[in-house]
A and B are shown apart, each in its own frame.
Chain A
Amino acid sequence: MALSDFLVTDDLTILLGLIAASVFLLYNLYKPQSLVHPILLGRQSDVGRVRNPGESAVHRNYGTGLMGRFPIRPAREVQTLNDLVRPEFDAPRTLWSTKISNPQLKQRVASFGTGLLRAGLTKDSNVLLLLNDSIEFLITDLALASHTIPSFTLSSPSLLSPVLEQHPPTAIVIDAGFLPSVLELIYESHEASHHVVIVVGEPKGKALEEASKQIKLVRWADIEAEGERGEQITTPAADPNDIFTVSFYEDTSGQLQAAQLSHQNITAGVTAVRALLPLSNPMSALDTIVSAHSLSTAFGRTVAYTALYEGTSFATLQSTQLFKVDDGPVPTGLPDLFSPRQYSLPSPTILFVRPTHIDGLVSSITRHAKDSFLYPVAWRHKLAGIMEGYSTKESLWDRLVFDNARAKVMGEGAATIRGVVVSGEPLKADLLTPSRIGLSVPFVVAHTHPLVTAPIFASHPHDLQTFAPPAGGHSDAGLAHVGPPVVNIETKLVGVDDDAIAKGDDPVGTLHVRGPVVGRILTVEEEVPAENEERWASTGHLARAQTNGSFKVWSAAK
């Protein structure tokens, strides 16, 4: 047969040809556009051109650049901690269970500060805060900062006795429920240095009378009431570089360390935290922030002050209660995540949580989503979108499958949550894809350290890159990357293998940081700074710099 017999065409050919052309166009042009261009994800940090032997080059955020200055405050007039409470913002918002506006908060802070000064505290006093996260903590902190009286906080109750021995405070502010458990310690240290104990809440029955025989006990509410009467005492504003708090924590080798934080550390931290979420939808007074990080830690403090600055409602989870007021078990995972429901808080919109909460939340959502028969197709389509760099909460598959699952797990929160920041422990890489699909909101993986007020590293909120676990069995093989350094910190790795770097491997070493968000360690010896430059602080964690400028961080195996 001739060739022309094979190539016979008829009307059906034309019809099929048109259908084929339109399906082809649909297939090629229907690809969704990525939320962030992949070229930006290939150069996430600005790397120095020179490095010292045995160290890696200095890495900074690509937006800041090597020559750029670090932003140290969210606005020009925010110099100290008290400036973070903006007086012109007078809409009320809920802090834990108290509805309060900024002018009212400033008024309470001024009264409490005056009361403290009348009770006998001076600029040279030190005040130890043994409070669980609450509005009283914030008011006490702001009042002490406004009168330049340093405060001490502990990241865990086991540090109480070493701190009382080595750094005896002038006053202790403590929760009534926690007082009975530490009376012994306080009696001992009271013999060494007489101090005042300020109690928040009502201690039960006999504890109060017994204690008042041995130590000077005052009620928190009484101090505030005293301060409201008469003239308010004001103090000149502090210098931003003044230390306003010392945060005691245990480092990776189990030693007690003291991080001295200044006003500038916190304002710089607030600047960095505000930049974590996409700029197209920044934090505003309509948000509600929920945090799993205690106010006694540097990062937890910064999250709370960011919430104060932006005028959002704020609460912390029950697991942040360091000082147990009762013998009940500490909730973990999902019940902990939903613990702010006990407050009359609006539904949370931004979460600052830990990997355990994400694990519980995402596995629960996936379990409920599997009830739907469309789940395999929906999962496949959402995953294909993520492979292209695109994710949205309003797609067809969300409406059919995932919205139901989210509503069953989170209730009202399913519709309101619009951003999640995970930090505290390293996040496992195989949790990334289920989180991105299950939550479908900007998801930031961050790395924090007790010495640094902002996260050291934070991934791009729209970063949806997915990589297979690397071969080779490194200690960090199963971990998710934490992105580049944040906008106002610089990092370098010390103790790297120069030969490996010359061959082209990733530098792996101990992480050192420097910048306006890094506090100063209190050392026993007074070291005179050698040059004008700030010194590098060692975090004690190991890190790897990847070729695209993102990092993976982990603790050295003990």
Chain B
Amino acid sequence: MASFSLSTPINTALLLYILYLLQRILLPRTSVPAKPHSEFKASYSWMPRAHPPTLLYTTYTPRTLAPFNGLGDAEGGGRILLAIAGTVFDVTAGRSFYGPEGMYGNFAGRDASRGMAKQSFDIEMLTPIDQPLDKLEDLTPDEIENMKGWIEHFSNKYIICGQLVENDAI
């Protein structure tokens, strides 16, 4: 004859578990936590922990721009910036090109306008930091067009994060 005994431990445990689940189904939890979860998997009502990071638009001089050459100085912090025609671009994402070992590493932390216009990566294209900014007066219209094309390319690919002014302008 089959035996049905609720007092055995396993049966009691299973019964209690069933009653617990039924209680959760019929009377669901509806509490709102005081501080929202920070993961979408944890809860439907969630809030990300932090805002997306933003850069502050800063005015640079050739001296303050120079540390940003990707060598990881205390001032530069590993960011790579370069300037074309007074606009400073954050090219940290292109470390393989503009970083210390990159093909165009000469441009990091410098005013690259002349190099972009003349399509050359030589050191002679760069003006020393202590001297006034390159006025670009002797460039042909073709070279100016080329430089504008590069500005367009950089605006789409990288972030514009500042402007470049003379050393004594700040």
Residues in chain A within 8 A of chain B (CB atoms): 6-13, 16-17, 19-20, 23-24, 26-27, 30, 34, 37-39, 41-43, 47-53, 57, 377, 380-381, 383-384, 387-389, 464-468, 471, 498, 501, 504, 506-507, 545-548
Please give the distance in Å from A181's CB to the nearest CB on chain B: 51
Binds A, one of B27-35, B72-80, B102-110, B137-145: B27-35
B25 interface contact, C-beta 8 A = yes
**Which chain B residue lies CB-closest to A12?**
B4
CA distance A19 to B20 in the complex (A): 13
B123 interface contact, C-beta 8 A = no
Sorted from nearest, which 4 A-B pairs have the closest CB atoms? A384-B28, A16-B14, A465-B45, A389-B44
Given contacts A12-B4, A27-B24, contact A467 B54 (CB under 8 A): no
Partner of A8, one of B8, B22, B24, B34: B8
Q: Chain A contacts of B34 at CB under 8 A?
A: 468, 471
Which residues from 16 to 57 on chain B have a C-beta closer than 8 Å to any C-beta of chain A?
Answer: 17-18, 21-22, 24-30, 32-36, 40, 43-52, 54-57
B2 interface contact, C-beta 8 A = yes
CA distance A105 to B44 in the complex (A): 48
Q: Chain A contacts of B21 at CB under 8 A?
A: 20, 23-24, 26-27
B10 interface contact, C-beta 8 A = yes
B160 interface contact, C-beta 8 A = yes
9 examples of A-B residue contacts, CB within 8 angstroms: A10-B4, A11-B4, A13-B10, A16-B15, A50-B54, A53-B56, A387-B44, A467-B47, A547-B48
Given contacts A467-B32, A467-B36, contact A7 B10 (CB under 8 A): yes
CA distance A443 to B24 in the complex (A): 29
Q: Chain B contacts of A547 at CB under 8 A?
A: 47-51
Which bracket fits the contact residues of B? 35 or more
Given contacts A16-B15, A27-B25, A47-B52, contact A38 B30 (CB under 8 A): no
CA distance A381 to B28 in the complex (A): 7
Q: Chain A contacts of B15 at CB under 8 A?
A: 16
Whether A387 lies near B14 (C-beta < 8 A) is: no
B3 interface contact, C-beta 8 A = yes
Please give the distance in Å from A379's CB to the nearest CB on chain B: 9
Whether A498 lies near B56 (C-beta < 8 A) is: yes
Whether A548 lies near B18 (C-beta < 8 A) is: no
What are the interface flags for B149-170 relative to A under an 8 Å C-beta threshold, 1 for contact and 0 otherwise? 0000000000111000000000
B6 interface contact, C-beta 8 A = yes
B131 interface contact, C-beta 8 A = no
CA distance A53 to B57 in the complex (A): 7
Q: Chain A contacts of B120 at CB under 8 A?
A: none
CA distance A53 to B161 in the complex (A): 11
Q: Chain B contacts of A468 at CB under 8 A?
A: 32-36
Given contacts A50-B161, A468-B32, A504-B51, contact A17 B14 (CB under 8 A): yes
Please give the distance in Å from A231's CB to the nearest CB on chain B: 54
CA distance A555 to B161 in the complex (A): 32
Given A38-B46, A547-B50, output 5 extra A-B contacts at Cβ < 8 Å. A6-B9, A51-B56, A384-B28, A468-B32, A468-B33
Please give the distance in Å from B160's CB to the nearest CB on chain A: 6
Whether A49 lies near B9 (C-beta < 8 A) is: no
B11 interface contact, C-beta 8 A = yes
Please give the distance in Å from A204's CB to the nearest CB on chain B: 58
Whether B51 lies near A16 (C-beta < 8 A) is: no
**Which chain A residue lies CB-closest to B58?**
A53
**Which chain A residue lies CB-closest to B156?**
A67
Whether B44 lies near A38 (C-beta < 8 A) is: yes
CA distance A142 to B25 in the complex (A): 58
CA distance A489 to B24 in the complex (A): 45
Whether A11 lies near B18 (C-beta < 8 A) is: no
CA distance A49 to B49 in the complex (A): 18
